[in-house]
Each structure stands twice: as C-alpha cells, then as structure tokens.
Amino acid sequence: MGRLCRATSHKFLSVESQVSGPALRARGVSKAFGGRQALEGVDFEVGPGEVVALIGPNGAGKTTLLSILAGIAEPDSGEVDGNGVAWVPQQAALYRRLSVRENLLLFARLQHDAGQTNDPPGQMVDRMLELTGLGERAGDRVGTLSGGNQQRVNIAIGLMAEPAVLLLDEPSVGLDPGQRERLWDFVLGLVGTGTAVAFSTHDIQEAERYAERIVVVAEGEGIFSGTADELRQAVDTGSGDLESSFLAFLREHGH
Ligand SMILES: Nc1ncnc2c1ncn2[C@@H]1O[C@H](COP(=O)(O)OP(=O)(O)O)[C@@H](O)[C@H]1O
Ligand SMILES: [Mg+2]
C-alpha cells in the first residue's frame, strides 16, 4: 500500500519553481542497506511532461532510487523535492479474484479516505475505466486479464491522484512486443496531458523509443544523463547499436 503514502514526505515546490523548474528533483541521495551502499550521492531530475528512462545492471539501485523519489523510502542523506508523485511498483498489488471494477473501487475509496482526492470513488472508477480502455472488462476478474491489461489497472491506480510525475518500475517486464506497444501508447497519452514519467527498464530499445532522456545508474551512482545519441557518442564502439554503446560505457566506467 506504499503508493498511498506518496509524496507525503516531500517538500512542496515553491510557486516559482512549479512554473519553471523540474517536476521532481533529487540531490545527493544516498542509501545503505546494512553495510551495503545501494545509492551514493545520486542527482536526478524530471522536467514537467518529460519522459526519462533509468537503465543499469541488476542491483544498480534503480528501484531504490525510484522508491525514494516516490517518497515511500527515506534516503540516509540527500534531498528530494517534488509534489504529486505516483508510484507504480513492479509487482502489481492487485486482488486477482476481484474484478477490475472492484479493484479500482477499493483503491479509489482508500485514496478518497486518505484525502488524496475529493472525487467520489464511483466517479473515479468510471474515469479510470475509460482511461484504461478496460470498460468492457470491468466485471472480469483481474487474474483473467493479460499481463498488459493488469499493468494498465496497476497504472490507473497510480493515476487516481492526478500526479505530476508517474514513476514506473520495469513496467513492461513479461509483456510481448504488441502488449508493450499498447502499454506505451496508453502511458504516453498521459504525457500528452502534462504528466512526467520516469521508468526503469532492462530493454535498451524501449528506453530509446519512449524516453527523451536516458539516465544510467551503476553500483549506486548516476554515471550518465543524456539522449540515446549522446550515449552513443560517449563511447567509440563503431556501431549504431545502443545496447553495445551502453555496455561499452559501463565497461569504460569500470562496471
Ligand atoms: N530492502 C532491501 N534490503 C537490503 N538490501 C536491499 C534492499 N533493497 C535493495 N537492496 C540492495 O540495494 C542494491 C540496489 O538494489 P535495487 O535498487 O533493487 O537495484 P535495481 O532495481 O537496479 O536492480 C542491491 O545491492 C540490493 O541487493
Ligand atoms: Mg529493480
């Protein structure tokens, strides 16, 4: 239920920075688990309406960073400034034996009771069914939906509080290419309405296709931020293949 706590620990942006500054910004974020440093002085920001991909090897700290940005985990040091951040965890916290409508209604009521939205839950559910295009499946058990459609429900729950920034942790894992494309059509439709998106992925092609900017995290440090072409230019692999460039970049930086 971590997504219900979103942004409660974040400072509010000043009116001025809401107009011109990033939608979400982290400065010098560090976090250790036991003796192990998961993040070490990471800077990260997402502009209003921007789409950013986080890539990096397993254990690099992507999930830890996203959960700190979401306000559901506390950094040991560093600052996070942002308002209206929604968190879509990798494991959808859906009730498989309840219908799509029942799942949406449950979370709409929780958000309403938590004061995160004034919308009557029933109205919210209708809006989310329309947004997800799942109106015809409203009565179906969530467990019978495809992975892509379950992910839509998961994202719709994150959207109930009309966030300025949507954080998605490996949203397309397990989806086939068609499901993945439909999921991104859906997510990028939201960006059209001004919502910024930051997502993690192991799929370098997906990062290039859907993100305006790529951030590389390795062993707890942010080691690159720029466009896919800038990542290609950062190494001399003699190939236009972004995955090769990414791997060469990691090697050059000792990872
Ligand atoms: N709750 C936790 N307890 C202990 N160690 C953790 C926990 N969460 C993450 N870690 C460790 O922090 C590091 C970063 O993990 P994570 O953020 O999940 O990386 P990624 O999402 O990039 O694969 C890893 O070494 C991982 O084992
Ligand atoms: Mg992860």
> Is the whole-model pTM more than 0.85?
yes
Of 90, 80, 42, 39, the residue nearest 60 (C-alpha): 39
State residue 119's pLDDT score: 86
As a whole number, mean pLDDT of residues 164-173 equals: 94
Ligand nearest to the CA of 64: 1
Q: Compute the average pLDDT of residues 225-250.
A: 91
Q: Ligand 2 centroid to 119 CA: how many Å?
A: 33
Closest residue by Cα to atom 18, ligand 1, is 63
From CA 83, how far away is CA 23, in angstroms rounded? 7
**Domain limits, the chain:** 2-93+163-252
The pLDDT of residue 225: 98
* Total residue length of the chain: 255
From the CA of 61, the nearest ligand is 1
Give the integer Cα–Cα distance in Å for 143 and 39: 35
The residue contributing the CA closest to ligand 1 atom 4 is 33
Q: Which atom of ligand 1 is nearest to the CA of 58?
A: 23
How high is the mean pLDDT of the chain? 89
Does any ligand 1 atom lie closer than 6 A to the CB of residue 12?
no
Q: How do strand 24-33 and strand 77-82 relate by DSSP bridges?
A: antiparallel
Is any ligand 1 atom within 6 A of the Cβ of residue 223?
no
Q: Is the pLDDT of residue 2 over 50?
A: no
Mean pLDDT, range 116-142, rounded to an integer = 91
Alpha helices (H) along the chain: 15-20, 62-69, 100-113, 121-132, 147-159, 177-191, 204-210, 228-234, 242-252
Query: What is the per-residue pLDDT across 197-232, written as a single tens digit (0 to 9) for each?
Result: 999 999 999 999 999 999 999 999 999 999 999 999
Closest ligand to C-alpha of residue 168 is 2
pLDDT above 90 for 118: no
Percentage of the chain modeled with pLDDT above 90: 67
- From the CB of 58, is ligand 1 less than 6 Å away? yes
pLDDT beyond 60 at 17: no
Whole-angstrom distance, CA of residue 152 vs CA of residue 182: 10
Residue nearest to ligand 1 atom 1, measured at CA: 33
**Domain at 2-93+163-252, CATH homologous superfamily:** P-loop containing nucleotide triphosphate hydrolases (3.40.50.300)
Asked if residue 38 has its Cβ within 6 Å of ligand 1, the reply is yes
Question: What would the mean pLDDT of 143-147 be, rounded to a whole number?
Answer: 93
Confidence at residue 175, expressed as pLDDT on a 0 to 100 scale: 87
Give the ligand 1 atom nearest the CA of 66: 17
Expressed in angstroms and rounded, the spacing between residue 114 Cα and the centre of ligand 2 is: 28
Ligand 1 pocket residue status of 33, Cβ below 6 Å: yes
Q: What is the mean pLDDT of residues 76-92?
A: 91
Q: Measuring from atom 25 of ligand 1, which residue has the nearest CA? A: 59
Ramachandran sector of residue 166 (left: φ over 0; alpha: ψ -120 to 50; beta: rest): beta
Phi, psi at residue 197, to the nearest 5°?
-135, 130
Average pLDDT over residues 148-175: 90
Cα 209 to Cα 26, 177, 228, 235: the distances in Å are 25, 13, 9, 20
